[in-house]
Amino acid sequence: MNSNTLSPAPTKNKKLIFWVEEVSAMTQPDQIIWCDGSQSEYNRLIHELVEQGMAIPLKRENSYLFRTDPSDVARVENRTYISSLKKEDAGPTNNWVEPEELKSTMRELYNGCMKGRTMYVIPFSMGPIGSDIAKIGVEITDSAYVVTNMHIMTRVGSKVLETLGETGEFIPCLHSVGKPLKEGESDDGKWPCAPLDKKYISHFPEERLIWSYGSGYGGNALLGKKCLALRIASSLAKEEGWMAEHMLILKLTNPSGLRKYIAAAFPSACGKTNLAMLVPTIPGWKVETVGDDIAWMKFGADGRLRAINPEAGFFGVAPGTSEDSNPNAMASIKSNTIFSNVALTADKDIWWEGMGTEPKFPLTDWHGKDWKQGSDQPAAHPNARFTAPASQCPAIASEWEDPNGVPIDAILFGGRRPNTIPLVTQARDWNHGVFMGSIVGSEITAAALDLKAGTVRRDPFAMLPFCGYNMGDYFQHWINIGKKTSADKLPKLFFVNWFRKKDGKFVWPGYGENSRVLKWIFEQCEGLGKSKDTAIGIMPTEDAIDLPKEVSAEQLKDILAVDTEGWLAELKDIRENHYPIFGDKLPSELKHELDKLEKNLKS
């Protein structure tokens, strides 16, 4: 690269300037652009992407469709590494390669990988700029698609550099699509990426460094999200005594105007976005959105856990999102939205399975091919996404950007479990709740490329793919958090399951009807709920939850019953298959909770 193609750095931060120079020397881009986060920058990049045939303008205002390579449609968990100095610190649930070995493999790949491309430097803040809880990252990428998505998902730009100053710390996030261009070659409208065995999503927690290569999609490439805000942040949080969690945050207001803030950890594609934006079916109750995917929680001066949403946008799963399932999401994506791998109608609108409308033909599928009704392949990829600014959500809470965060009253854990796990259970105390979080499991969905859909996998705290260190130490961290403040100040912990099935059909209607469960949770936080103690925890009495019209009293009783046989099987699986994975790292408190559960079930 000639020195005249190096645009002057708009910062005096030496570490940043040095890193950008070092990366450009290795990757050899044609030019470097420092991103300022402005609307004109967004418009210019989108215009270029349209010109290159990568983005298709839609009839929705300022909205575009991208189609990725069929091999690059989701997170790649088996190519994701926690490269701590010691293998033990990555733990049994993460892929590990010794850091110098991994870096040397990746350096070879990075060598000249940006030839023929532009290198963008994106300064971004996770969390409101300047908030005590926020963190600054800088992503270097050779993908304009990534820049435009980062504009929506994070706070990008000059203000971040101002906050960083000359000596401020940032988390370096290096990304390349891994497809250098030869002299005169262009992408020709084809999504650039590297083959699966050359993809690496690597984290170096001691150095607080992220290196991603070969994929341009979602969490593999928008490095503020899963890589920084969960994997690196969780490891920082353990060191510093706070929490970085895969949780939505919602504000629930009762008819008298009293409010509670609830966080909820569900595995990918279990409806976090839907719950965060829920429209209650019970009169007088209101849900507002603070975040739909990630919560960073720190103790405030009052000893309560306060949470911020570190993101600025939603990267939501499109299929299944409809006016019925999530009208607020549908309103959020009316304009200024990037769609990836959805289907395209002839009048340049989008469509996907479960959108609640009939497709308009001719319809073009996510491969760009004509799609006919009755095809055995979906028109939209099951992990097709929308990227939309959070500020466009009609249900966004006024305090969603409060730098001090919101005080969390309750935390829910849950997953897709067709049997055994009841609709709702409250933990008796913090450690019992940590036990519930540690045994979360869910039927697998399409959010990750390399897993078999349909089977149940344990996903403790919904953090299995996102915990940046040893999961046994992570359990201990949760136990320790419970000792940092008095029990009355800690959030109350609950286990929920909207996904019980009978004869292959969901028993509970979910969506807006989940407000009935939230109401009970609210009442429990106030100490006013109707509840009883059971072998598995505190549960609603039979008359505590109002019936939705689709559910009979008998059915509700069934999904609120303690299924002793099912729980004994669950217990056996935890004892024999799940907990042994963590060896000596499994906190004694969790072994104790398991013994207690067994005793309760057998007595």
Query: Pick from 11, 94, 268, 325: which binds ligand OXD (CB under 6 A)?
Result: 268
Is 75 a binder of ligand OXD (CB under 6 A)?
yes
Residue 447 contacts which entry, ligand OXD, Mn ion, none (Cβ below 5-8 A, type-dependent) = ligand OXD
Task: Evaluate whether 292 touches 397 at the Cβ level (below 8 Å).
Answer: no
Residue 128 contacts which entry, Mn ion, ligand OXD, none (Cβ below 5-8 A, type-dependent) = none
How many Å apart are CA 320 and CA 316, to the nearest integer? 11
How many Å apart are CA 362 and CA 340, to the nearest integer? 19
Q: What are phi and psi of 328, to 5 degrees?
A: -70, -35
User: Residue 517 has what DSSP assignment?
Assistant: H
The H-assigned helical ranges of 66-119 are 87-90, 99-110
Residue 218 contacts which entry, Mn ion, ligand OXD, none (Cβ below 5-8 A, type-dependent) = ligand OXD
Is 265 a binder of ligand OXD (CB under 6 A)?
no
Neighbours of 471 (CB within 10 A): 22
**Closest distance to Mn ion from the beta carbon of 452 (Å):** 19
Nearer to Mn ion, 474 or 520 (CB): 474
Is 336 a binder of ligand OXD (CB under 6 A)?
no
Site string for ligand OXD, 178-217 (x = CB under 6 A): ----------------------------------------
Task: Evaluate whether 282 touches 515 at the Cβ level (below 8 Å).
Answer: yes
Task: Evaluate whether 90 touches 104 at the Cβ level (below 8 Å).
Answer: no
Please count the residues of this chain forming the interface with ligand OXD, following the rule CB under 6 A: 7
Task: Evaluate whether 563 touches 421 at the Cβ level (below 8 Å).
Answer: no
* CB within 8 Å of 11: residues ≥ 6 apart: 17, 34, 123, 161, 164
**Closest distance to ligand OXD from the beta carbon of 410 (Å):** 21
Residue 219 contacts which entry, ligand OXD, Mn ion, none (Cβ below 5-8 A, type-dependent) = ligand OXD
Residue 319: burial class (beta carbons within 10 Å; 0-12, 13-18, 19+)? buried
**Closest distance to Mn ion from the beta carbon of 78 (Å):** 18
**Closest distance to Mn ion from the beta carbon of 462 (Å):** 8
Task: Evaluate whether 417 touches 456 at the Cβ level (below 8 Å).
Answer: yes
Nearer to Mn ion, 234 or 364 (CB): 234
Residues in 431-450 that interact with ligand OXD by CB under 6 A: 447
**Closest distance to ligand OXD from the beta carbon of 249 (Å):** 14
**Closest distance to ligand OXD from the beta carbon of 314 (Å):** 9
- Exposure pattern of 96-129 as b/e (b: 16+ CB <10 Å)? bbebeebbeebeebbeebbbbbbbbbbbbbbbbb
How many Å apart are CA 209 and CA 224, to the nearest integer? 12
Plot region of 271 (φ>0 → left; ψ -120 to 50 → alpha; else → beta): left
Residues in 211-240 that interact with ligand OXD by CB under 6 A: 218-219
**Closest distance to ligand OXD from the beta carbon of 340 (Å):** 11
How many Å apart are CA 228 and CA 222, to the nearest integer? 9
Nearer to Mn ion, 214 or 316 (CB): 316
State the residue for tokens 């005590």: 132
Closest residue by Cα to residue 494 from 408, 582, 405, 594? 408
**Closest distance to ligand OXD from the beta carbon of 184 (Å):** 37
Q: List the beta strands (DSSP E) in 390-488.
A: 406-407, 410-414, 424-426, 441-443, 456-458
Q: Please report, to the nearest 10 degrees, the dihedral formed by the alpha carbons of residues 11, 16, 20, 21 taken in order.
A: 90
How many Å apart are CA 222 and CA 138, to the nearest integer? 11
Is there a catalytic annotation at residue 173?
no
Residue 75 contacts which entry, Mn ion, ligand OXD, none (Cβ below 5-8 A, type-dependent) = ligand OXD
How many Å apart are CA 312 and CA 160, to the nearest integer? 14
Is 293 a binder of ligand OXD (CB under 6 A)?
yes
**Closest distance to ligand OXD from the beta carbon of 383 (Å):** 8
**Closest distance to Mn ion from the beta carbon of 602 (Å):** 37
Nearer to ligand OXD, 29 or 216 (CB): 216
**Which of 35, 113, 173, 270 does the annotation list as catalytic?**
270
How many Å apart are CA 221 and CA 529, to the nearest integer? 44
Nearer to ligand OXD, 120 or 386 (CB): 386
Is 473 a binder of ligand OXD (CB under 6 A)?
no
Residue 401 contacts which entry, ligand OXD, Mn ion, none (Cβ below 5-8 A, type-dependent) = none
The H-assigned helical ranges of 184-320 are 218-221, 233-240, 272-276
Strand order through the sheet with 286-291: 286-291, 248-253, 259-265, 410-414, 492-496, 424-426, 537-540, 531-534
Task: Evaluate whether 116 touches 183 at the Cβ level (below 8 Å).
Answer: yes
How many Å apart are CA 308 and CA 313, to the nearest integer? 13
Q: Which residue is nearest to Mn ion (CB)?
A: 293
Nearer to ligand OXD, 315 or 495 (CB): 315
Nearer to Mn ion, 192 or 310 (CB): 310
Residues in 106-135 that interact with ligand OXD by CB under 6 A: none
Q: Which residue is nearest to ligand OXD (CB)?
A: 268
**Closest distance to ligand OXD from the beta carbon of 448 (Å):** 7
How many Å apart are CA 414 and CA 274, to the nearest integer? 14
Nearer to Mn ion, 114 or 390 (CB): 390
Cα angle 439-443-447, degrees, rounded to a multiple of 5: 110
Nearer to Mn ion, 118 or 234 (CB): 234
Provide the greatest CA pair distance for the chain. 78
Residues in 474-513 that interact with ligand OXD by CB under 6 A: none
* Binding footprint of Mn ion on the chain (CB under 5 A): 268, 293
Nearer to ligand OXD, 459 or 589 (CB): 459
Query: Pick from 204, 315, 386, 430: which binds ligand OXD (CB under 6 A)?
Result: 315
Nearer to ligand OXD, 312 or 544 (CB): 312
Positions marked active-site: 270
User: Where do contacts with ligand OXD occur on this chain (CB under 6 A)?
Assistant: 75, 218-219, 268, 293, 315, 447
